[in-house]
Structures are given as structure tokens and as C-alpha cells.
Amino acid sequence: MYLSLDISYWLTLFLAIPTAFLMVRLFIIQHDCGHGSFFKSSRLADTVGTILGVITLTPYHYWKKTHAIHHATSGNLEHRGFGDIDTLTIDEYLALSRWGRFKYRLYRNPLVLFGVGAILHFFVRHRLPTIIPADWKRERRSILYTDLLLAIFVVVMGSLLGFKEFMLVYLPFTLLACSIGVWLFYVQHQFEPTYWEHDPSWKYEDAALEGSSFLRLPKPLQWLTGNIGLHHVHHLNARIPNYRLQEVFEKHPELQKVTTITLWQSFRCVRLALWDEQQRKLVRFGEAMKKRREKGRGKREE
């Protein structure tokens, strides 16, 4: 990308596409380090994960802890908030003020969720130690160390290449990688049919197999995203490294009898926004408005 600056910036931007996906693949390796599945040595995993966290703009120990919570509570309505897209039930949404409903609709807008929101999440939110409790001391240090190393990286690269040239190269692929990363987060659990249960009825295995997607991607994209499309296999056993997920999937026929989402279908999932507890499925905002009108008619009839 740097060499292409002397040829055409359009070529630089084109090269940002494969570069962004390679950054996503590095994130998957960092992700596996956090699960303890990439190396036998936990010290080596933490070292590599910390270094990769600077490249991926994701503080390693912060990510490691919050992501472990996500795996332990995915699909549990009483434990939402870690490692997934914020999701409200229809009743929760209707109970909000008009301003609250507007903010949630804005948050779930694809341009915000995969654009501005993705950039703010990785560039701003991940820079702030205050996003986690004060007693998470190691995780807060992880954020501060990542910020320091990131600042050193920018200064060194800017000094070597020129700050303008560095930013012309660095920003396009990094911004694109942020959007791809949030899109992957989204389709891993925001699809239909999916799984959400209240705490007494929630089961880990059901949440893994029914609430985590099998995203069937073209082989090049599957490699670039570190097989994370086999997300139901990963959630069933997070100690399986990314490079063995396909092997495990093929050896166990029961893992193939789950909801399959294609690349095209994953884009259509962005219209899902609320959990309907009566129908037990994710629905669009229109369903909430329909329910609100029905409640209004019922009250008038009473």
C-alpha cells in the first residue's frame, strides 16, 4: 500500500481491502490466544495476544475477560451486555421513552452500527479504561499499555514514512477492518432462528448450537476470517483453535444439522432488531409498532 502511493491512491484503496481482511485474521489469532487455544504456553499466548492487540486496536486482557463472560452467558436474557450487539426485547423497547427508542433505533441503523459506531468502538471506546469496573485492575492496565504502545507505533511509523503517508495507508484498511469485525460480531448471534432464554431455562449447549451462527463463506473469505463462521462449533468448545474448526465440523455430522447462513443472507439479517418473547424470534422494528397498536386497541376496547 505504501509503495502504491506513488502510482495511484485508488490502487492504495483497493489494496486496503485484502489488508483489512488480513487484519481481521490477526484478530482471530489474538482471539484464540485469549481462549488459550493457539499455544500450549499461556505466557506465550498472552504475549502474542498483547502485541496483536496493538495492531487490532483491542486491548488483549480486557478483551480476554469480557469475551469469556460473553461465552459463559451468550443467549441469556439476564446477562446481556458483553461481547455482543445490544439487543432489547419488544417490551423493553416499548417501555423506553421516545428519546430512548430513538437512540436504540439509531444504534441499530446499519450506517451507525457498521460505520460510525464501529469506528468509535475500536478507535475511541477501546482507549478508555473507564469502560470497565475500577476493580478490574489488570484489564485497565491492558487498555493503558495498549494505548501507550499504539502511540509509540504511530510516532515511529510516522517518523519513518511521513505522518501523512502513514495515515493515508493506515486509516483505510483499519477503518474497513473495524466494519468487517462488527459485521462478524453481528451475524454470529443476530440471525433467525436464534436462541435467547431467561436464566432458569438457559442451557450452554443449546445457546452454542442454536444461538451461534454457521456462516457459510466462500473459501477465501473463510480463511481470511479464521473459520470464525463456524461459530457454533467455536461456542460449543472454545479450546478448538481456528485452524481445526473445519475438521471438527466435518467429523461430527450433528454439527452440520444447524441453521446455515450464506453471505447474502447475512446482509439481510441487519433488519433484525428486537427479541419477540411471545414468538421467540428476532423481529424488525415494525413488529414492535404493530404490537404497540394492538395494545392500544385492546385498551380502548376495555
Asked whether residue 260 is domain-assigned, the answer is yes
63-84 confidence digits (pLDDT tens): 999 999 999 999 999 998 777 7
Residue 101 lies in a domain: yes
pLDDT at 290 over 90: no
Which pLDDT band holds residue 291 (cuts at 50, 70, 90)? Answer: confident
Is 299 within a domain? Answer: no
pLDDT value at residue 80: 87
Specify the pLDDT at position 288.
Answer: 83
Q: Can you tell me whether residue 94 is helix, strand or coil? A: helix
Q: Which pLDDT value is given to residue 293?
A: 74
Percent of the chain with pLDDT over 70: 97
Task: State the pTM of this model.
Answer: 0.90
Q: How do 260-262 and 214-216 pair as beta strands?
A: parallel
In this structure, the number of other CB atoms found within 10 A of the CB of residue 136 comes to 17
Locate cell 470497565: which residue? 132
In a domain, 301, yes or no: no
Across the range 276-284, mean pLDDT stands at 93
Residue 101 has pLDDT above 80, yes or no: yes
Total domains present in the chain: 1
Q: What is the mean pLDDT of residues 243-256?
A: 95
Q: Residues 10-40: pLDDT tens digits?
A: 999 999 999 999 999 999 999 999 999 999 9
Domain span including residue 278: 3-293
Q: What is the pLDDT of residue 84?
A: 79
285, 273 Cβ separation under 8 angstroms: yes
85 lies in some domain: yes
- For 169-179, the pLDDT digits (tens) are 999 999 999 99
Assigned domain for 188 exists: yes
97 falls within a domain: yes
In-domain check, residue 242: yes
Taking the C-alpha atoms of residue 242 and residue 184, their distance in angstroms, rounded to an integer, is 15
Residue 296 has pLDDT above 80, yes or no: no
